[in-house]
Amino acid sequence: MLKESLKKGAISFAISSFCGMIINFLIDIFVAAAGLKDFCSISPAFRELFPTPAIAVYTNIMLYGIIGATFAMMTFVFELERISFLAQSVIYYIVTSAVCLGITMLLWQLQRYPNALIGSLIGYTVTHIIMFVIEYKKLKKDIKTINEEIGAE
């Protein structure tokens, strides 16, 4: 299970980093086309944490990868048979939100903007609740189908 989780994490890290790089690239192209000079697709506060803008951008891309890897690697929790789906979902939420919101705070300096931080946390929580409800309904349907097939035999 650990080997498979690490494999998922590595693949997701690569995909997330690549997608982050493409998004930053597209933002920079559109901004340059609009005539803005010296624009960087990361927040000025984040950029100030690094000696050069290039290092800030590369770190930003790496952080996208870490978020993606965390989401992928934490799916192992849903393979644990001894705990309930609710407990699995809560563990997944706590770990992924800690990583995702921690990185988001670093990238966007949300601690400077309490309303943005609260809004991000609420949005993240609502998204997880929606995902839980959808998956729970799907699981109930699957269990009903299995029980009907077992009963039919």
What does pLDDT average to in each consecutive run of 10 residues of the chain (153 residues)? 91 95 88 83 86 90 94 93 93 94 85 86 93 94 89 65
CA 24, 45, 14, 123 torsion-angle sign: negative
Domain boundaries, the chain: 2-152
Q: What's the confidence (pLDDT) of residue 114? A: 86
Q: Is-above-0.85 flag for pTM? A: no
CA-CA-CA-CA dihedral for 29, 35, 37, 43, to nearest 10: -60
The pLDDT of residue 109 is 80
Q: Cα angle vertex 74, ends 102, 105, to 5°? A: 10
- How many other CB atoms are found less than 10 A from the CB of residue 124? 16
**What sections of the chain are H helices per DSSP?**
2-33, 44-47, 53-73, 85-108, 114-152
